[in-house]
Amino acid sequence: MNRILILDYGSQFTQLIARRIREASVYCEIHPASKGLDLGFIRAFDPKGIILSGGPNSVFDEGAPSADPAILDLGVPLLGICYGMQLVARLAGGKVVPSSERGVRPREIAIKENKGLFAGFEPHATAIVWASHGDRVDEPPPHFRVTATSANAPVAGMQHEQKPIYGVLFHPEVAHTPRGGEILHNFLFAICGCVPGLDARALHRSRGQPHSRARGATGRAICGLSGGVDSAVAAALVHRAIGDRLTCVFVDHGLLRHGEREQVEQTFRAHLGMDLRVVDATIGS
């Protein structure tokens, strides 16, 4: 499988993480952090790598989202981002210190080693990153080493000495981290071993279970077509799931582009074999 599992801990940037991964031509899915407590789900998903997103919580908050500590022993490459790194540090026995300082802002980090996440960086390089404030990691967990520091974060980056577990206390996915793309690419390709090229089979499988449920139903469905991409894709997916139980409706309101009505009819009736009803709502009809 060539796909990445993103566990969402509530970060405003979680969707951006997924976007950056997809821009790198790697398939990924976002799932709620609660899935991190279900190792059976993770094993069944069979990811090439796991990313724990940031989030607004403190790891010390009552009821703060967590993960099964055994996630660190799956042997699957794992990257904790901000809250995700704080959570990894806490689960693995590091020293996490609560802080009242919140928010994200630019910071300069000093990179301790140009390998792993920072492969390709100059030795002893510095970099501007968009860093989260809040809990900080004062000491890495046992068997982890520090890979980056900043003025207010003794552990701005860390890596396990034997396992493919990494953490950064900043957001590599945002444009305010100029070299964040390199960091994510290092994780995806050098560490996880992903191959560029979205896995269409994985996408089809991810849609398989809803399709199976739809096939088991007996009712009919109706879908409004505008002639645009979004409604066309939606109609195609639903038609794949329930076949001729889908009826598509296209309204000719008299303001269409030249030949658009004929094109829609040709595409959906002749090529896709759909039940298409055209409503003529032009003036004088």
- Catalytically active residues are 82, 171, 173
As a whole number of angstroms, the distance between CA 72 and CA 90 comes to 12
Joined together, the tokens standing for residue 164 give: 């493919």
Given a contact cutoff of 8 angstroms between Cβ atoms, the answer to whether 20 and 81 are in contact is no
Q: Which residues contact 3 (CB under 8 A, 6 or more apart)?
A: 26, 27, 28, 29, 45, 46, 47, 48, 199, 202
Q: Give the orientation angle of helix 229-242 with respect to helix 200-216, to 10 degrees.
A: 60
As a whole number of angstroms, the distance between CA 148 and CA 128 comes to 12
Given a contact cutoff of 8 angstroms between Cβ atoms, the answer to whether 97 and 135 are in contact is yes
Q: How many other CB atoms sit within 10 Å of the CB of residue 183? A: 26
As a whole number of angstroms, the distance between CA 215 and CA 159 comes to 46
